[in-house]
Homo-oligomer: A and B are copies of this chain.
Amino acid sequence: MEENDESEIIEHHDDEEMEKRRNHAHSFLESVTSSEKDGHSSTQSSHRLLAYSDALIAIIATVMILPVAHTKFQNNEELKESIQSLLTTKVSVYLMTFLIVTVAWAAHVRLFQVISHTDDTLALLNLACMMLITFLPYTFSLMATFPDNVVGMVFFCACVIVIGLIQSSIVLYGFRHPFLLNDHIQMSENPAYYKQHILKVIMKVPIMCIFAIIFSFIFFQLSYVILAIVIFLPYISQSLKWIRNKAIGGQVEDDADHVLFYTYHPSEPLSKERVEAFTDGVYAIVATLLILDICEDNVPNPSVVNKEFNGSLIAALQDYGPEYLAYFGSFATVGLLWFVHHSLFLYVTKATRLMGLFNTFSLAFVGGLPLAYQLTNEFPRGSRNELEAVQISCVIIFFAGLFQLAIWIVALFNERETLHPYVRYGGQEHTFMLAKLSLYPCVALGTFLLTCVLSQFSAPIFHIMEIGVPFAFLLLRLLVRVALTLLKWLFGLVRPDVDRILVVEDDPQLPINDIVA
């Protein structure tokens, strides 16, 4: 058979040569080469499998915003009360679901940092796992709607247990076929130790869920406590550890602790590629949430147009005006927040867990944006409802932007490991990155304060902000340079030593002329 293969290769030698010259054969070569080497013809690079999983999980994470977004407000009722009743159930369900799905996603990322190649069986097992993860939000919202009923809890825990079992079988399958594992474990002297450790970590959650089910029949409150521990312990412990490390000052590398929580690989943080893929998925679905509704609901009925508007389609469409405005506004804001994230992650070399946590928080707020924008355009001009809707939008934008800024600030604490030199302290892109990241929080804060003062003009102020921000981004390099020159000139008169920091920005190579031209 080996010879048979070789003769085939010689036969098609010319073609192979041709193929290799093509640019786009690259990913293909990557995906098949390793399997050819080992002789395992069914082994595949897991890249596309993971991209598909990320897209699925991103959609599912944001799905619980739909019941919130589709809540209809009566114009005559006070928005504040509606918002408060929403806050108690739907918004908290949305936020909790988002975090739960993110935890499931993080576990999936860890798992496939161990399993670096897939074959057909693993791909099918992964699809089964995905099917159950996509069902999690529904079981959770059942649980939230019927907090006193055992059924919701049992469904939710059963889902988590089955997911755990499937993930364990993926691990077992992987360790039976070591060529699927990553190099680090493949080369290690004691893979059995890894196997045991990983299985222990994965099965911890399902086992706690079994206890939660048992307690739900005996002592109900306790099962909620167990679930809360399961979901938030990794986050809390991580935050505490980070704060402790900062307080002590020393970089205590506590591997033993690392090993205890999810991190199968002590040295390896969340895969940056997958953080990006998941983030892209969330931004993509959030950006299009409003157009989904518009396409479904805002095509007027021909008979209605004939009856009510004398056949004038334009008159009928004018009714929907605010919704188009909401769509374009939210698309632009989500798109620009994505753009800021994209710019930041170009210079991030490693995404630590805390950075991942802040990214999750930022995404959770981004998910609320379409809702906020829809509210902003729904109420009569100058009403108190409108003012509050505008302010809620500003708060959401502020926090979404602030957590993005927080990612960078956390990264700066460990800049040697996490950031490219360009955006570190004194790097040539440092100030520009700061401007990019702080533009939205500053603008949102400014708009919020302005609407407090000039509450009658809240909507016009908000719309001016919507229109202005894209141009601000387009001209940001110019603005930063102008601001720096001004600062330099001002401070230069007082303290000439500021020059040293600012001169880094004065790179004539900076393609500022690209933007001005």
Nearest CB of chain B from residue A295's CB, rounded to whole Å: 5
Question: In this complex, which of A296, A305, A477 has the most chain B Cβ atoms within 10 angstroms of its Cβ?
Answer: A296
Nearest CB of chain B from residue A168's CB, rounded to whole Å: 17
Contacts of A299 in B (CB 8 A): 67, 138, 141-142, 145
- A146 and B313 contact, CB distance less than 8 A: yes
Picked from B40, B284, B515, the residue with its CB within 8 Å of the CB of A55 is B284
- A24 and B273 contact, CB distance less than 8 A: yes
Residue of B nearest to A27 (CB): B273
Asked whether A78 is an interface residue with its Cβ less than 8 Å from the other chain, the reply is no
- B39 and A509 contact, CB distance less than 8 A: yes
A403-437 vs B: 1/0 string, CB under 8 Å? Answer: 00000000000001100111000011100000000
- B63 and A288 contact, CB distance less than 8 A: yes
Contacts of A127 in B (CB 8 A): 332, 335-336, 338-339
The CA of A139 and the CA of B87, in the complex, are separated in Å by 35
Asked whether A514 is an interface residue with its Cβ less than 8 Å from the other chain, the reply is yes
The CA of A146 and the CA of B288, in the complex, are separated in Å by 24
- Stretch from A115-123, A186-194, A449-457 forming part of the interface with B: A115-123
- B4 and A119 contact, CB distance less than 8 A: no
- A41 and B332 contact, CB distance less than 8 A: no
Q: Can you list 13 A-B pairs, Cβ within 8 angstroms, ordered by A?
A: A1-B508, A27-B272, A48-B276, A48-B342, A52-B284, A52-B342, A59-B284, A67-B296, A119-B514, A120-B477, A127-B332, A127-B336, A145-B300
- B313 and A138 contact, CB distance less than 8 A: no
Nearest CB of chain B from residue A411's CB, rounded to whole Å: 13
Known: A288-B59, A332-B131. Contact between A422 and B280, CB under 8 A?
no
Contacts of A32 in B (CB 8 A): 346-347, 420, 422
CB-CB nearest 5 A-B residue pairs: A55-B284, A127-B335, A151-B313, A15-B416, A59-B288
Q: Which of A214-273 contact B (CB under 8 A)?
A: 268, 271-273
Contacts of A56 in B (CB 8 A): 284, 287-288
Asked whether A321 is an interface residue with its Cβ less than 8 Å from the other chain, the reply is no
- B134 and A63 contact, CB distance less than 8 A: no
Q: Which of A264-308 contact B (CB under 8 A)?
A: 268, 271-273, 276-277, 280-281, 283-285, 287-288, 291-292, 294-296, 298-300, 302, 305
- B52 and A295 contact, CB distance less than 8 A: no
- A24 and B271 contact, CB distance less than 8 A: yes
Contacts of A294 in B (CB 8 A): 138
The CA of A509 and the CA of B511, in the complex, are separated in Å by 55
- A338 and B12 contact, CB distance less than 8 A: no
- A151 and B280 contact, CB distance less than 8 A: no
Asked whether A510 is an interface residue with its Cβ less than 8 Å from the other chain, the reply is yes
Asked whether A359 is an interface residue with its Cβ less than 8 Å from the other chain, the reply is no
Picked from B40, B124, B295, the residue with its CB within 8 Å of the CB of A66 is B295
A14-25 vs B: 1/0 string, CB under 8 Å? Answer: 010011001011
Picked from B134, B287, B298, B417, the residue with its CB within 8 Å of the CB of A15 is B417
The CA of A396 and the CA of B352, in the complex, are separated in Å by 45
Question: In this complex, which of A18, A280, A332 has the most chain B Cβ atoms within 10 angstroms of its Cβ?
Answer: A280
Nearest CB of chain B from residue A190's CB, rounded to whole Å: 21
Picked from B51, B121, B317, the residue with its CB within 8 Å of the CB of A151 is B317
- A349 and B272 contact, CB distance less than 8 A: no
The CA of A287 and the CA of B42, in the complex, are separated in Å by 25
Asked whether A85 is an interface residue with its Cβ less than 8 Å from the other chain, the reply is no
Question: In this complex, which of A5, A152, A305 has the most chain B Cβ atoms within 10 angstroms of its Cβ?
Answer: A5
- B347 and A48 contact, CB distance less than 8 A: no
- A335 and B4 contact, CB distance less than 8 A: no
Picked from B41, B336, B421, B504, the residue with its CB within 8 Å of the CB of A509 is B41
- B421 and A121 contact, CB distance less than 8 A: no
Known: A56-B287, A59-B288. Contact between A515 and B295, CB under 8 A?
no
Residue of B nearest to A294 (CB): B138
- B509 and A331 contact, CB distance less than 8 A: no
A166-190 vs B: 1/0 string, CB under 8 Å? Answer: 0000000000110000000000000
